[in-house]
């Protein structure tokens, strides 16, 4: 049978609970948030910029394809007119080959619906390096404006600073886990709390 000392030691080992102080838990949350604030923009902002650039390129290609389709339709209609409309052929002969009837003066006149107008491009009021599309929600545009005014976009998009930010985020995560490592605290038994220790037995004289 185990002795009383062995039983007391076993009961004390069972009462050991690994915990962390409240201050360490709070610092763990603070360090984790700081690490996220460094890691997330460093990784996500370059991806967001590339995505916005691809969207802008897609818009330009879509517009170009639409213009080419309209030009193809116009050329098909013109080809059909050449093949079927005699009036069109006569007009082209007059314009291109300078054919005219006797005592006839041909004066070229530009139609009002064919007047070329220089297109006006409405540039966005604000545009950062992210090139966020104008049709995105206003909250995103306001956040972009705020980050640009604070210089955060250029800071996180700087390729020379990205390794430093990632190392800082990793260091904060390591520090958070080291600081929040559980400590073992022994629960004092009833005899220990009462101040009762071992009693030595002395023989009677």
- pLDDT tens-digit map of 60-91: 999 999 999 999 999 888 888 778 877 777 77
The residue length of the chain stands at 205
Could you give phi then psi for residue 200, rounded to 5 degrees? -85, 135
Confidence (pLDDT) at 10:
57
So where are the chain's domains?
20-112+132-181
Q: What is the pLDDT of residues 1-54, one digit of tens each?
A: 555 555 555 555 555 566 778 888 898 999 999 999 999 999 999 999 999 889
> Is pLDDT of 148 > 90?
no
Nearest to 39 by CA among 144, 172, 132: 172
């Amino acid at each position: 049978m185990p002795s009383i000392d062995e039983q007391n030691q076993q009961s004390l080992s069972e009462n050991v609970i690994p915990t962390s102080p409240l201050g360490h838990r709070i610092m763990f949350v603070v360090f984790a948030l700081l690490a996220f604030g460094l890691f997330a923009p460093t990784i996500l902002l370059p991806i967001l910029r590339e995505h916005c650039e691809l969207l802008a390129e897609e818009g330009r290609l879509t517009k170009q394809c639409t213009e080419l389709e309209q030009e193809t339709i116009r050329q098909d209609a013109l080809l059909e007119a050449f093949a079927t409309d005699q009036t069109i052929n006569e007009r082209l002969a007059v314009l291109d080959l300078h054919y005219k009837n006797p005592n006839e003066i041909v004066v070229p006149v530009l139609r009002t619906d064919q007047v070329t107008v220089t297109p006006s491009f409405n540039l966005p009021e604000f545009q950062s390096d992210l090139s966020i599309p104008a049709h995105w929600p206003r909250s995103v545009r306001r956040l972009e404006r705020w980050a640009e005014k604070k210089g955060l976009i250029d800071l996180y998009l700087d390729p020379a600073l990205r390794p430093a930010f990632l190392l800082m985020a990793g260091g904060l995560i390591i520090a958070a886990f080291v600081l929040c490592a559980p400590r073992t605290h022994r629960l004092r038994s009833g005899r220990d709390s009462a101040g009762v220790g071992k009693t030595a037995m002395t023989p009677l004289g």
